[in-house]
Amino acid sequence: MRDSLREFTLPVAAIAAALLLFGLLVSFTGVSPLEVWFILFKGAFGDWFSWQNTLQRAAPLMLTALCVAIPARAGLVVIGGEGALVLGGLACAAVAHALPLPFNFVGTAIACLAGAVAGAAWIALAGWLRQYRGINETISSLLLAYIAIGIFKHLVEGVLRDPASLNKPSTYSLDAGLLIGGIAGSDVHWGLVIGIVACIALGFWLRATASGFSVRVVGGNPRTAQLVGLPASKLIIGACAVGGACAGIAGAVEVAAVHTNANASLIAGYGYAGILVAFIARHNPLAIIPVAILFGGFGAAGSMLQRRLGLPDASVMVLQGIAFVLILASEGLRAVDWKRVGAQRLQRLRLLQKAPT
């Protein structure tokens, strides 16, 4: 119970501290921090329209956070989910245009599967470079993300471009039969359900299957994994592929449910925000769900901060950055035995009181 409470308390305290610091910063512009906090809450969860916007933004955050969380359970720090997302969206749009897909659920599933394959291959490449070439996966995945964005722009503005897209280069739009609609007529698309199901399924896989346990062993103690004969390289690359597939699906869902084609709007920073969500959730797939909803709400409230208070729309990025720094700082507090620290200080105080003057 004490460990569970610590797992819950530190992230909540870090987010609360981030909100306090953010309020302090905006107070220098003459805006009341209380008003900022109220607008943040209202823009994220104040009414049904706000909830729809929040949940719509939370869907890709869940999937891109899994791109960080699953490799992390295998001992890797992968931060290139943005590249897998854009390539997944590009693959979805390209396959939908190149192949005679049926205009129904099956065709949509095939297009999204193409996005998953593209994302899986891209992140698995970072895992392969780590295992067989000794290249740090954090650096390689980040650089691969920039390469993926370059490939995306080259193809969207080149051979895959729709000639009718003049001011904003984009691919051909998906047929209406391939689009992912809203849930019960709302603006919340079925990508949210995909994200929740993926988090639950992967959480179950990690906790209740032999392969998931093997991945956790490799990430927790590589030497033990070698001693018991686990195929560490295959497990690590497989974990990267699973995470990349989730980010690829996120890109495919954004194309099929939001943009209807692949264009520059797909590069919205969901892959980078997913890093923050995964770290706050402690790489726990189940905990990713509420954290993604919370940060989806922060993103949804950005435009309201701009309209009501005159703050820049990007001010929410400042809040996310502060939260990320505080989350990283709080990691150092997890290993502290506060009971022992208190006992040591009490003992020192008693010794000082007994010492001769």
pLDDT digits (tens, 9 = 90+) for 255-311: 999 999 999 999 988 999 999 999 989 899 999 999 999 999 988 888 888 888 888
Q: Residue 196 corresponds to which amino acid?
A: I
Cβ pair 92, 256 in contact under 8 A: yes
**3 state DSSP class of 158:** coil
Residue keyed to tokens 């700082």:
329
Length of the chain: 357
How sure is the predictor about 131, in pLDDT bands with cuts at 50, 70 and 90?
A: very high
Residue 116 burial class via C-beta count within 10 angstroms: exposed 0-12, middle 13-18, buried 19 and up: buried
pLDDT digits (tens, 9 = 90+) for 7-26: 677 788 888 899 999 989 88
User: Which pLDDT score is estimated for 28?
Assistant: 87
Domain 2-19+32-338 has CATH 2.60.40: no
**3 state DSSP class of 170:** strand
Residue 349's φ and ψ, nearest 5 degrees, are -65, -40
Lowest mean pLDDT among 20-24, 125-129, 153-157, 339-343: 339-343
User: Which pLDDT score is estimated for 3?
Assistant: 62
Look at 11 and 333; give whichever has higher pLDDT. 11
Looking at every residue in the chain, the average pLDDT score rounds to 89
